[in-house]
Amino acid sequence: MERLTAVLAGTPVDTNMGLELLRRAGLPAAGFPVAEDPRAQTAFQLLPPADKQAQTELVLRLAMKGGCARALVYCNSMSAAVDFPALSRQLGLPIVTPMDVYREAAGAYRRAAVIAANAQGLAGIERALLEKNPKLDLYGACLLPAVLSVEAGEPPEELVERHHLAELAAWFQSCGAQTLILGCTHFPYFKAALAARTSLPLLDPDEELVRLVKEL
């Protein structure tokens, strides 16, 4: 029988997106949102480190008690704000986060652009990329309003238009970016709509996250 995977994410919306990602791959999973909405998740990420670690540990212990043998953190900014490698060692629980994907991809680019939900996520992605490729030139932007639009169910085409994402991608491309990293697990929601408006390749970590979970 396939092991149960805990999906930790910032809100119920991206938790369900992570669950659906694993279910499409035939991986049974259970969801554990850490906050009720994106603003509450950002507030959680600004807590003192010890408080964030303690709260996340409680959630992971609950998941393990429910039969989960591994975890996927389906939230970029939470992956950056919490020390998941330490929790993995402490609990003996294998944990995959989007940062694992970015580290693997870092060496493929000389210049890259990142859009993230908030500065916590942007800083974490920058750290993961530059640890592996210190010579990488990086451009970035924080787009919490776009996350709120995803949570509200705004049609992807309207979201891309209203938040000027095609124009932002064009600016990144004019700076020489070779890829645009979708640095928030909400952003695959509008990936197709944005891809139709830009020739800049989009790096979506979803497929690699599934591979890493399977390899645990």
Domains detected in the chain: 4-99+207-215 (3.40.50.1860), 101-204 (3.40.50.1860)
Say what the pLDDT of residue 216 is.
83
| Cα–Cα distance, 30 to 47 (Å, whole number) | 26
CA angle 11, 14, 17 (to 5 degrees): 150
N residues, the chain: 216
Closest CA to 151 of 17, 6, 32: 17
Residue tagged 């991986």 (tokens) = 27
Question: What does the pLDDT read at residue 204?
Answer: 92
14 φ/ψ angles, rounded to the nearest 5 degrees = -75, -25
- Series of mean pLDDT values for 10-residue runs along the chain (216 residues): 86 94 95 93 92 96 96 93 95 96 93 94 94 96 96 97 98 97 94 97 92 91
Give the pTM: 0.86
The C-alpha atoms of residue 90 and residue 9 are separated, in whole angstroms, by 20
The answer to whether the beta carbons of residues 98 and 186 sit under 8 Å apart is: no
Contact 120, 99 (CB under 8 A): no
Task: Report the run of H or E that residue 142 belongs to, with start and end.
Answer: strand 137-142
Tokens of 73: 């953190």
- The DSSP annotation for 75-104 comes to -HHHHHHS-HHHHHHHHT--EE-HHHHHHH
